[in-house]
Structure 1
């Protein structure tokens, strides 16, 4: 045998390449396992090529590290065949570790096949050395190298399978595993090299010998490291993109969940809202129609809640509603649905075996609500009026059942409150009337049945007329209905939104017509309901209407009740600021009947306060009402607000309000609500006060 040794630098590089190839294999296993379809197949092919070339390069560099006393030559076909064997073995390994399970039998079979493939790659590569006479092998060392290859393959497969999924420390674990795998691969190679024995008369059969092994090794190292580095960089970039995509998908899913929560649940109590309740009712009807169950709808309304709101403010009222919700939920099953429709109205949907179950539950809830609530530092007392409608029997569809439960609830209120009532056919007339009125109200705009009457507002004490307040009327079946008959129903059903838009549009149209007739100093005031004021497009709708009818914005006054303005003060300030910046004037209506914070009142960009008519009815000098009215007028003057008094019906009220400094008067003494035609026919457009006293509004 001739003498030989190893180039230690190349040996070190072969070890580095082996570890890098091992890490690439582990990373590729993770990429293949976490992708699907075409992407998974592409990663499998690319990973197999990169990993196979890495393992083969380690083997080839190890062969080049072998320094012998004669020049070496290599058969290119056999050398490429050894590389192909490495790539095929790598593809098999990646496929194996990406299966859902890796039981012991499959692990052992995989270790034998992969270890055999690596050994075949090694000895095929050795046979590429063009030597004569051929290399002689010590089969004891050969056997040991094959055993090491199989054991190393089994360990590599096991580690790759368990490190294929992403985890917080997976990168560090893969590096550690790559060191172990690289050491095993290098150990197998050099054990195989130790098995090779070269006879003393061996010589190279290569056509071109004498190529510098160091330069050839450098070329292989550079190419291999480039391939492995590019593969890892692409893998890292893809991993980051997947992570960002996953984060984006997770964020979108969270946003969708939050939007669904907002769309289907009440913001204050987090209970299902009307939309979700309708869906649950539909499901209950489908189940009951198959004969699988019967159910009851309990319509719950709190007695005395408005008094709490007026006395302590909406903040305390909201906390009370939350406390009521918690009490109600404490008595319910997981299958029951408790929804909040708005304000202090709740609806409970429950499956029952018989109607007495609903009665017992309602009685329990009534007694539960009757107990004192301790909110902030206050002890609050409210009660509950409950109406019950049972299916089948009390309604053929969701809407009818809800209306009948509502009718039963009002029957409870009219019977003394703090109790419950089942729906009875005797209540049906009222329920049917409500249903018919609702249907007619939906068509009122389309059928041109809505009318606006205009009540003049006079500069105190006798005029002239400064403008008009638009008052809604409904011409139904030849009768004129006042707002208190149908507006509560419109508020409850949401019809107040299109009706309110019609009122604003018609009032602005009429004002434009008056201006064209020469009454350019007249203004018009329009009331905004609570539901209207909460619409997100309110400001845009008002501005569009003003532009459509080409009226000066300052000639339009929007009246918002004190209760509505204080419901959400910060939002109210923002909305009114946007409107007043455009030029529209704002008026705080029914002032004195709600709960106001002077801090917020000072911030509200209103131009006038409107004293509620309840304070004017019994206005006598020295009375309590007189003191309240005097205080309101003084407050308005301090805040530079015009003060309007409505409900003026006597000359005594007129004189007293004028003495106190009230700016504008409105009431039956001065002028009744009139149609535009009646206003046009009035003999004096500056208006002389009408001396009709002691007439109450319709």
Structure 2
């Protein structure tokens, strides 16, 4: 140990070799000189392999001549360090016999020429540079033994210096890779020419690729024999990724289905994609260098373009609908988005315009617009158009002391026509009634079909004395026989009349009073005309009793919820339930929602009832989500609830209380609710949608037929009313109406829910036509809270027929 320490502190390079020139001992100065991490790493290497060919011959001859207990000096021996720097050494050799090991040993000491000592400063600087390179550097001698590896190489390969330097490649890298690199180094040494190659590497354990450029330079002067090779490995992954992203962006630009054009800061077109050519009809060469105004349709005035450019200059963006012109001259609508690109100094450099041809969308909107205002079957005005005209007129009546009449009538025993003669005859009869009535009314009158066999005739600005005579004519002509498909059909009608402003100053009041009068006409034997009078309001007595008892229903625990499951026709799984309010009064017995809900809405009780229903529904949803986390609970919402100031906050609070996501709640509103105070309703529905709640339109097709509003209201589903479903398998017109609704809804990405599905034939047609969801007795009656839990657990993958057989007999 002491000998070893003394040996290590020698001022000169010192090492001991055996008769085979294997290094048995070395001091730290020797390992530093020859590029080894430590003396221990150096031990075991051949001294002769540390020098070039010529120097090896000189050293070998000197060792052969050296006798025991003699010394020899070998001057000016050239040596290239791991970095290829040439050194000049004076070696002193001394042979001795080691009795302990029984062999000769040679002590080799070396002194470096002074000029080489001065060059050490350069070498250290070079080492510092190499170890701070953002690249991996490794060198090998001619025998393929590693003589140097910089810090970046060790870090990237997660390997220690001593595991690399002084060893061949195959000791620390895969054999195939080692053979390949050996071959490349040999090729470089033989040819005398450096080489380079780009290689894709997979990072161990991460399945991520790195791209590197490997360069194989020759180590040595041009005029001397090469002492080895090096490898400089540069990571170009970032550059490759950027190149790939650029290629991807160019492909996205070229292959986008949306038209894209780019202009310079002078608004001159510098690039367009294939979709631009397809949509506008202009070839790229025809528009390059031109102003995009060549596409202008001249439908928009200068104020439109001023607002557009104000937005672009202020917010760097504009988006909206615009009409442009194709090369053929055809004017078409497009949805256009313009973005301004700015540099770091906030100066505009380019403009990018992206647009989509929305011709088909506009055509769909036109169809929707037609459905929005007119009844599909008869072509008469629907509820929305009627309400609009009546509302404007009655306000005018009060100002001008004028009179208008609203006549509500339906066809007596129309159901018998459908049942005995078929729905096709029934539909044709409705069309013939509409045609006949339209011939008898004035141009300014409005004839509307509300649904089924219910009609409303609104006669504005009419002399009160003429109303009865005109109605007599209508009744007389209505009663005359109809010839339909060679079949004679006779029908009569019951008419109820309300007069503005005496019987009401709004559409709702007039319609309600006319409805009361019509039912009185039916009670009087049908085929009659009845004018509204205050005696009819005696019907409100029962409503008053309902109102009184309903106030105590919640505290008396008389209310309950039933739940009717909804089935997805895509995968035959339960996707939701509709909560249905039921009331069994201790005084009135079982009261239908049709009776008490309108009373609650009118009296203001609906908000308390609604909150109770929402809380109970959300509470039940929490239980159902443990069974099916994707299930939605549909909750009917009244207009009064929807307009309450605290509706949204209360709804969010309730979901938070039971930890139920808003996405699992679907709020059902009626078409009339969408039309009332449309602007404020729109804001609220958008706010609800932003908070994640789903919106559905209930009893779709029976109210205002608000298809026009589906474009801008956040509706996720529409519920097709049972009126259209119940005879869809027999009534081709109703089937077409359903198909029209389903297809229009699908084009707007809105789901359809068919209500009242009761027989397999209805199910088959709905599946065939692409309806999304069904709800009805075919699948399940409304279930109690305990039944619905059991039903959801047991009905996973259950066929509707089996579900019906198992649960419909149990449900109440």
Asked if TM exceeds 0.5, the reply is no
Higher relative contact order (CA 8 A, sep 6+): 1
The structure with the largest helix share of the pair is: 1
| Structure of higher CA gyration radius | 2
**Structure 1 length-normalised TM:** 0.43
**Structure 2 length-normalised TM:** 0.37
